[in-house]
Chains A and B, each alone.
Chain A
Amino acid sequence: MKGQDAQAPATPALKMLIVLGGIAMLSGFLVVLVDQLTKPIIEANQQRAIERAVFKVVPGATLRRNYLVTPEGVHPAGDVGSGNGITVYGGYDDQGRLKGIAVNGAGMGYAGLVYLLYGYDPDCACIRRFEVLKMTETPGLGDKIISDAGFQANFIGPDGLSARLNGAGTALENAILTVKHGSKQHPWEIDAISGATITSKAVGKALNQSAQNLLPLLAPHLEQLKRIDIAPAESPTNGKGE
């Protein structure tokens, strides 16, 4: 009687192996095919996203060059972060003059890391603009750092947010600091948004940490970045049609 449990003939293990193996192969083939088809488009999308953000934080820039900043020096770099060092994006106008340098930063906010791209202006040694790349802050509270005019005024004013190096060039003269709403006194202080203090502080921490790491390495080599030669194909008059 027990034998009747298995009424249907048992499937041989070989058949299961063949079917599962076949499905896995088909699946692998499909995934590789789609990966090959979409890879160039995805890379172009990522480049365009970087470009858009760089031109936003470096006013007046129409061209971009990537650099890798290491303790040994500054080298041109590709779009994908390579080796040890800090990737920065130089923004140039159509004459090839450096308008500013866009740098990544991240600080811990209320609901996770706030990822920023900010524009450093070497002429005034200040930060002029920042753009949020990714964050999970509360809509209506933390995300005011993007829209709040008072908060943006910390950066947009004539002197920007001061990020001057000390005499020895080893660190910032004054650390960038987020202060309570309404108590900003110095050009290196960020006036927090009331009701979004934690996210405001995340911006301050992100800028301070990134600037403290990067600027001492970058400062000795700034002259070499000031000008670039423009290949004719790149000049915006030709390239704008894209």
Chain B
Amino acid sequence: MGMNKSDDVTWDSFAEGLWRENPVFVMLLGMCPVLAVTNSAINALAMGLATTFVLMASGLLISLMRHLIPKQVRIAAFIVIIATFVTVVDYSIQAISLDLYNALGAFIQLIVVNCIILGRAEAYASKRRPALALISALGMGAGFTFALLCLGVVREILGAGALFGFDLFGANFEPWVVMVLPPGGFIILGAWLLLFDWRKHRTQLRSLQEERGRAG
């Protein structure tokens, strides 16, 4: 944790969460909503945005209060702050659309216990200045939303023949129903993890070969 690294707001402080430390595909955090609410693209997007808001708001507040909160009670303080913003999101979604609220079910309230949020509060926001905490939270939230959308889009297309509620293939399409059921969540998540891991290995292998080529 070098001082110079933690003090500058760079593109990397945002992009880190989006790609290199993606909360879902790299850190494998927050799997519960990832599997549960990604049966359609719109649910995935709403859940991602809700989580991003909670990440940013709680990250900012925790960073602002980081010198005030005594070490012994920090987890309790973090949870109260996170729960507050989750309640704010809960009411807001009810006001925006009851259908969406019913579709997301209990998973809105369960954002409180999403380990990405407490994890980022403890490991990052409570040690950095507000601007950094906010940008990093935005990056993590974007990464989480991106991952949820990756699953939601594929599952909705295969399982319902639609995208964001718009019918894609007409009446003759026989939906692959298992894809919108829980097993489909595991299958698609596994497929995405495989793809990302394969890509990572390939780039590693290529850079290794390049090095050898230069040496030889």
Contact = CB atoms under 8 A, between A and B. Distances in A.
Q: Is the A/B pair a real complex?
A: yes
B84 A27 contact: yes
B177 A30 contact: no
Contact of B87 (A19, A26, A34, A41): A34
25 contacts: A11-B71, A16-B73, A19-B68, A19-B77, A20-B73, A20-B80, A23-B65, A23-B69, A23-B77, A26-B84, A27-B81, A27-B83, A30-B84, A30-B88, A38-B94, A41-B95, A42-B95, A45-B94, A45-B95, A45-B98, A134-B102, A138-B181, A140-B177, A140-B180, A141-B177
Interface in A193-241: none
B169 interface: no
B213 interface: no
A124 interface: no
A51 to B, nearest CB: 12
Nearest to B85: A30
Given A11-B71, A15-B70, A27-B83, A38 B95 contact: yes
Interface of B: 39, 65, 68-73, 76-77, 80-81, 83-84, 87-88, 91-92, 94-95, 97-98, 102, 159, 175, 177, 180-181
B94 A42 contact: yes
A20 B87 CA distance: 18
A20 B81 CA distance: 10
B181 A139 contact: yes
Interface in A10-29: 11, 15-16, 19-20, 23-24, 26-27
A35 B91 contact: yes
Contacts of A8: 71
A139 B84 contact: no
A146 interface: no
B68 A42 contact: no
A130 to B, nearest CB: 18
A23 B94 contact: no
A141 B69 CA distance: 53
Contact of B80 (A16, A24, A41, A141): A24
A141 B181 CA distance: 11
Interface in A110-154: 134, 138-141
B95 A19 contact: no
Contacts of B39: 139
A141 B94 CA distance: 29
Interface in A73-97: none
A19 B69 contact: yes
B92 A34 contact: yes
A46 B102 CA distance: 12
Contacts of B88: 30-31, 34
B70 A16 contact: yes
Contact of A140 (B87, B92, B102, B175): B175
B84 A31 contact: yes
A19 B94 contact: no
A11 B70 contact: yes
B85 to A, nearest CB: 8
Contact of B73 (A19, A26, A49): A19
Given A19-B77, A34-B92, A140-B175, 10 more contacts: A15-B70, A23-B69, A27-B80, A27-B81, A31-B87, A34-B91, A38-B94, A45-B97, A45-B98, A49-B98
A24 B78 CA distance: 11
A36 to B, nearest CB: 10
A15 B77 CA distance: 13
A9 B97 CA distance: 51
Closest 8 CB pairs of A and B: A140-B177, A27-B84, A41-B95, A11-B70, A38-B95, A38-B91, A42-B94, A34-B88
A41 B95 CA distance: 5
A155 to B, nearest CB: 23
B86 to A, nearest CB: 10
A167 to B, nearest CB: 42
A139 B98 contact: no
Given A16-B72, A24-B80, A27-B80, A38 B177 contact: no
B80 A38 contact: no
